Structure 1
Amino acid sequence: MPNKTTERSYGQGAQGEPNSTQTSKPTLWAKFRYSFDNSIAKSGMFVTWMLIFMVIFSILLVLIKSVLYVTPFITNPGTPVTFNFETFWGSFATLFGKGGEPTWAERIMGFLTWMCTIALTGSVTGFIVGAITRTFDRLRKGKSAIIDNGHTLILGWSNRIYPILKELAVANQNVRKAKVVIFSDQTRDFMEDEIEARATELGKLKVITRTGDVSNPEDLKRTNISNAKSIIVLDADNAGDANVVSAVLAIKAVNPNPNIRIIAEVDDANTGEALTTATNGQVITVRSHEIVARVTAQASRRPGLAAVVLDLIDFDGDEIYFASVPALAGKTYADALLAFNEAAVIGYVDEHGVAFVNPAMNTSIPNNAKIIAIAEDDDKVIYTGIKEEIANTPVTAASRAADPAESLLIIGWSSMGRTVLNELSGFLPKGSTVHIVAQSRYVDPAELADLKFGDIQVT
């Protein structure tokens, strides 16, 4: 008798892949649930389904009513049940606004109608409430477009946004309806809560927040870039310059207008120079870490200098302004010093954007140059004419005594250390020494290697 053998499966193909998984055919109910789940997400389909369910419920109620009304027991108003149950039913029916029907058929139909009405009303009410909630949530997400004009646009988010807002508030005290638009990837609730907590006393400055991708041109279209007064691109903390470059490219893609000034914060000097060159000077790059390091270097030698620098660069008190004064073209820098009653001239900027701070007294001011002056406000930089009697008075230059060597102590070390020492090297007298104290567990010894800065001795 031949042995019965079982067919052996070796898989599929030459590589012995496993047999394909057998999938069961979806049931009719599964297909309906799948279609219902997909369609309910579409706008307006909920109302359509509610109408369908109302038709189905109405048909069911008609069928139930037909059955009830052909049953003698529940259609005879004189049929007794029990006194206790009648009392219970009267009390129970009162709770949902029913009761008083003469027959049990009408009582049952009234109760079923009430249940269907409550279910449908609750569903429709829930749908309306959900739609309103979604609308407000969408508005809270900050996805609507900006229609304001003449606003200052800030792209990105970092801790430096708070002092920027405070300075803009001071600068726009005399501006009617001054507005600042902040566009970043942070949520609108987060930005508004942080600004309210950390940037108080903004005065009349109106701050508008929107959420989106600063490197996406389609998102940037919502910020009304074409009508912005100026644009500030912030470098997110520890994010590098890639995001800043992407944001600048997105700005140029949306609005190629070269007249809108773009101030971009960068870390790398080469990146900043490349952005300025590629945009023909439209992008003004700022290296905040370098500025802090250079001010720190000068303040370490001159106590109180940091307060002076802060007073000049903020909008409170006196500030630095640029003014075109055609009458000074061809005049000397010494003449310009005496040509303003309410402003102090400290230099000029030529037509190529090169600044000359405190040049030689006999330096001739070129055509199309702008005067750099310190004044209380820009309307104080008014040319009042050269006072010849003072300009022709001879001035004897005083001799300067040699400065003694200095010794500086630096406690701790960071990436700004080399910038600080490089700034100091041009001002410290010959023979000065700098001693650095840092813990090796926090500082890589390679960072302290090859610290050579002119005649300064670093230990």
Structure 2
Amino acid sequence: MPRTRYWFDSVIARGTPVLIGWLTLVCLAVVVPASMALVWADRRVPRTWSGQLAAVWVSVGQTLKIGGAVGSPLYVLLSVLLALVALLFVSTLVGLITNGLNDRVLDLRRGRSTVLEERHTVLLGWSEQVFPIVSELVVANSNRRRAVVAVLGPKDKAEMEDEIALAVGRLGRTRLICRSGVTTDPAVVALARPETARAVLVLTHAGEGGDAHVVKTLLALEAAVRGRGRRRPEVVAAVRDGRHHRAAQLAAGPRGRVLNIEDVTARLIAQTSREPGLSLVHQELLDFEGDEFYTVREPALTGHAFGRLLLAYATSSVIGIVPAGGGVELNPAQDRVLRADDRILLVTEDDDTAVLADGPLPVDEAAITQPGATAAAAERFLVLGWNRRAPLIIEQLEPCAPEGSELVVMAAGEEALREAGRCARSRTGRMRITVHDGDITDPRDLDALDVPSFDRAVVLGYDDADGTDRAVPGALTGDDRTLVTLLHLRALEEASGRELAVVTEMADDRNRLLAPAREGSDFIVGGRLISLLMTQIAENRHLADVFDALFSAEGDSLHLKPAPHYVLPGREVTFATVVESGRRQGHCVLGYRLYGQAREGPAYGVRINPDKREHVRLGPQDSVIVLTREPVPIPGGRKAGRQTPREYEHFTHP
């Protein structure tokens, strides 16, 4: 058998003429004996040898499509020649048609044809962002007919389709179109018809030159739609390094919006480290499952003060106003009047569920409380690991930390230690910062820190591009290092019997499922977070200003406040009562978190935008989710920031 296979391979390797010769001999060796058998098996077989040979010839000719004519030698020769010419012509024509169809099919499978769609969503590039974005778009398009998502990436079309199908699953009403090509070539970008799209999302690119690739893709997009006589689509992109944000924004143009992954991730880590569970609130608001941000016009409320709007909806939570001239006002002053051209920013299940309440919502005046002025106790923060986002995290933590707080950083590698030391020396605020040289995956180094004595901990992932992982020979890298660190922290918690509030940063959302952490713990995955933000902006361009304000260094942001600051603990009240109590303190109340359900998925106790007519019983350890400006604690228990007036107007239903 091996020799036969070897002989067959040798024949094929000798070229087409030899292959045709062998094919002819094999064909004759099969057809001629079979034709002789057919003739001799026929009852009407001629009696003479010449007649039998002629019958065999006719059978062979009909089988091989060369005629099989009987007559003079010249006549037979010419008929065979014509039959061979016809056979050659037909075979060549069939071959050309087959090759053309094959080339066309291969071209289609490679994804080289133009997308003939309008009002579709275009994704330019290929990264881990593809999967959460497509998944969220499928949910967002569940009530939309003929929704189309076009993905243009450097991979093979079939490979991209298979990966998306495996990661996302059923696409529902959304149709997926994949095209293959380099996104930095305007001619290739034009295949996705970005000029007819409702939104274009430029995905981040892996590697050291990732942000440069994003900028080039934005420039290629501009070149692809330039001069086509159509309005340019909404463009949303993201960069990993804040130093490249301005260049990317210039490349995106006036209708483009570029998100800074480092900035958004650092701010959310800092906020969550002060208020455990806050990442779950953002996750609940940013995905398309459940309730999310919408903007609506409500002529019936024109001329009313913002304070009245908070109880105008029973199943929607008002959090701000979007002026017609642009921008957004999150939690404006209570007397801010809604103008006719303003839009109301609210949290609701869908854009058609923002319906005014039928009448006044029930408020239990006797259950409303006011927070007392208490001195903030000093806290100890622990930061394990170091990356480019660490200085910004510390910058966000320091102003809000109580006087006398301490922050300890443990990092490894000369560059990381040098950066951490420079950051510690540059801080002269209320929080003392110290830096320790150690490996966060080494239990001996962690034991030396007395980890259970800290109130808060942040586990950061090293940036591969900085070479920090390579600074320690044999050290783990990326999320592997983070997972091992979490294992050691979990062991220290069990040994000490004390739970530590840990915020963990990860690069890959799939590794979050492997993390040895308690249910409901805070995980910040920068890529997934930005993917959710990009998808929300692509679906509603007004939300770009909302997220800019929500994640800005100044202004109002989401917080988890103790429930006793709003209503009497243990007393059953309507959620409208909680909202009214928050309004009197200048807060927009969005929901609550139940401490007793903090370990129970999938919501982990978080309830966003409950019906204001529902009754709820909040305990002393429960939290209320509010939108407000974070006050800066000062000695003596007083707080600087937005002042809460003692006199307030009791608004009734408009």
Per the normalisation by structure 2, the TM-score is: 0.50
User: Which of 395, 398, 423 matches 2:371?
Assistant: 398
Is the Cα contact below 8 Å between 2:218 and 2:251 reproduced in 1? no
The DSSP-based 3-state class of the residue aligned with 1:450 is helix
The DSSP-based 3-state class of the residue aligned with 2:352 is helix
Deviation at 1:319, TM superposition (A): 0.7
Closer/same/farther in 2, CA of residues 352 and 401 from structure 1, 3 Å limit: farther
Structure 1 residue 203 and structure 2 residue 175: aligned? no
Residue aligning to 2:432: 457
Closer/same/farther in 2, CA of residues 101 and 242 from structure 1, 3 Å limit: same
Q: How many angstroms apart in 2 are the aligned matches of 1:251 and 1:134?
A: 26
Map of 1:14-413 to 2, 5 A cutoff?
A: 121-238=90-207, 239-240=210-211, 241-250=214-223, 252-254=225-227, 257=230, 260-269=233-242, 272-273=245-246, 281-328=254-301, 331-365=304-338, 368-384=341-357, 397-413=370-386
Between 1:426-435 and 1:162-171, the stretch displaced more is 426-435
Q: Deviations over 1:328-372 (max 9, x none)?
A: 555433222122221111222334433333344345556643322
Q: How many angstroms apart in 2 are the aligned matches of 1:313 and 1:210?
A: 28
Closer/same/farther in 2, CA of residues 242 and 274 from structure 1, 3 Å limit: closer
Deviation at 1:192, TM superposition (A): 1.2
Counterpart of 2:431, as a letter, is I
Counterpart of 2:261, as a letter, is S
Counterpart of 1:285, as a letter, is V
Counterpart of 1:438, as a letter, is A
Pick the structure with greater CA Rg. 1
The DSSP-based 3-state class of the residue aligned with 2:226 is helix
Q: How many angstroms apart in 2 are the aligned matches of 1:99 and 1:390?
A: 102
Counterpart of 1:371, as a letter, is I
Closer/same/farther in 2, CA of residues 227 and 252 from structure 1, 3 Å limit: closer
Q: How many angstroms apart in 1 are the aligned matches of 2:413 and 2:249?
A: 39
What value does the CA root-mean-square deviation take over the aligned residues? 4.0
The DSSP-based 3-state class of the residue aligned with 2:131 is helix
Tell me which of the two structures has the higher relative contact order, counting C-alpha pairs closer than 8 angstroms and 6 or more residues apart. 2
Residue aligning to 2:461: none
Closer/same/farther in 2, CA of residues 91 and 222 from structure 1, 3 Å limit: closer
The DSSP-based 3-state class of the residue aligned with 1:143 is coil
Deviation at 1:159, TM superposition (A): 1.2
The DSSP-based 3-state class of the residue aligned with 1:422 is helix
Q: How many angstroms apart in 1 are the aligned matches of 2:177 and 2:151?
A: 6
Is the Cα contact below 8 Å between 1:220 and 1:250 reproduced in 2? no
Counterpart of 1:408, as a letter, is F
Q: Deviations over 1:224-275 (max 9, x none)?
A: 3343222222222232142243144235515575573221223355654566
Q: Deviations over 1:382-406 (max 9, x none)?
A: 344995997999x874334232222
Q: How many angstroms apart in 1 are the aligned matches of 2:328 and 2:246?
A: 16
Deviation at 1:163, TM superposition (A): 0.3
Counterpart of 2:235, as a letter, is I
The DSSP-based 3-state class of the residue aligned with 1:183 is strand
By percentage of residues, which structure has more strand? 2
Counterpart of 2:178, as a letter, is T
Q: How many angstroms apart in 2 are the aligned matches of 1:193 and 1:435?
A: 46
Q: How many angstroms apart in 1 are the aligned matches of 2:69 and 2:234?
A: 79
Q: How many angstroms apart in 2 are the aligned matches of 1:116 and 1:258?
A: 58
Is the Cα contact below 8 Å between 1:349 and 1:370 reproduced in 2? yes
Deviation at 1:172, TM superposition (A): 1.0
Percent identity, please.
26
Deviation at 1:98, TM superposition (A): 8.3
Query: Unaligned stretches of 5+ in structure 1?
Result: 1-81
Counterpart of 1:209, as a letter, is C
Q: Deviations over 1:276-329 (max 9, x none)?
A: 578774212222343333323333333322221101000001111122335555
Between 1:115-124 and 1:343-352, the stretch displaced more is 115-124
User: Which of 418, 422, 430 matches 1:446?
Assistant: 418
Is the Cα contact below 8 Å between 1:235 and 1:243 reproduced in 2? no
Q: How many angstroms apart in 1 are the aligned matches of 2:89 and 2:362?
A: 95
Is the Cα contact below 8 Å between 2:315 and 2:348 reproduced in 1? yes
Q: How many angstroms apart in 2 are the aligned matches of 1:106 and 1:230?
A: 72
Is the Cα contact below 8 Å between 2:381 and 2:407 reproduced in 1? yes
Per the normalisation by structure 1, the TM-score is: 0.68
Closer/same/farther in 2, CA of residues 275 and 444 from structure 1, 3 Å limit: closer
Residue aligning to 2:456: none
The DSSP-based 3-state class of the residue aligned with 1:264 is strand
Query: Unaligned stretches of 5+ in structure 2?
Result: 1-48, 436-654
Q: How many angstroms apart in 2 are the aligned matches of 1:389 and 1:98?
A: 97
Q: How many angstroms apart in 2 are the aligned matches of 1:222 and 1:266?
A: 24
Q: How many angstroms apart in 2 are the aligned matches of 1:149 and 1:119?
A: 47
Closer/same/farther in 2, CA of residues 383 and 280 from structure 1, 3 Å limit: farther
Is the Cα contact below 8 Å between 2:202 and 2:218 reproduced in 1? no
Closer/same/farther in 2, CA of residues 235 and 405 from structure 1, 3 Å limit: same
Q: How many angstroms apart in 1 are the aligned matches of 2:322 and 2:69?
A: 95
